[in-house]
Amino acid sequence: MKKKEGDMTKQGMLAQAGSYCPNKECRQYGKVGAGNIIKYGKSQQGRQRYQCRVCKKVFNERVGTLFYGKRTAVKDSVESLAMVAEGMGIRATARVKGIKHDTLSAWLREAGSQAQQVEELLLQDYQWSASQIDALWTFVRRKERKRLVG
Ligand SMILES: [Zn+2]
């Protein structure tokens, strides 16, 4: 029997800080587990810092959650979240974007579990508005509650 976990990775999901280079100019940008990231002491606030050995950029653990995978997939997953936030619902969004219902649900769960980082990413890199973010979390929370009840 074939395992299905690989699907999600191919379509993009969240990566932990320190597992890839967040510098868009870098040729290793967004490549998770490529071995180019080394630990680089701690910041004054006690946060772990990392350095990319390829571009030499130093960044801290707050910079660096990302939907990784192919670049188009990253764009797709962010757009999908935006559509959900705008009230399209999971089923319709999954159909329009051509992704599996389960995959989209998993993205939402992941996003919810790393809300802080996801929020920063969406605000900074994707120019989401605060109200879009609010709508996304409202949706995620409502879905989470339903799952617990039902
Ligand atoms: Zn780099």
Is the pTM higher than 0.85?
A: no
- Give the distance (Å) from ligand 1 centre to CA of residue 22: 7
- Could you list the pLDDT tens digit for every one of the 150 residues in the chain? 444 444 444 445 666 667 788 888 899 887 877 889 999 998 887 878 889 999 999 887 654 445 555 556 677 788 899 999 989 999 999 999 888 888 888 888 878 877 877 888 788 778 899 999 999 999 998 888 877 664
- Give the distance (Å) from ligand 1 centre to CA of residue 59: 10
- Give the distance (Å) from ligand 1 centre to CA of residue 34: 10
Give the three-class secondary structure for 150: coil
CA distances from 28 to 10, 41, 43 (A): 17, 21, 23
Q: Which residues surround ligand 1, an ion (CB under 5 A)?
A: 21, 23, 26, 28, 52, 54-55
Tell me which amino acid residue 76 is.
D
What lies within 8 Å, CB to CB, of 128 at 6+ separation is 82, 122
**Positive or negative, the Cα torsion across 40, 45, 47, 52?**
negative
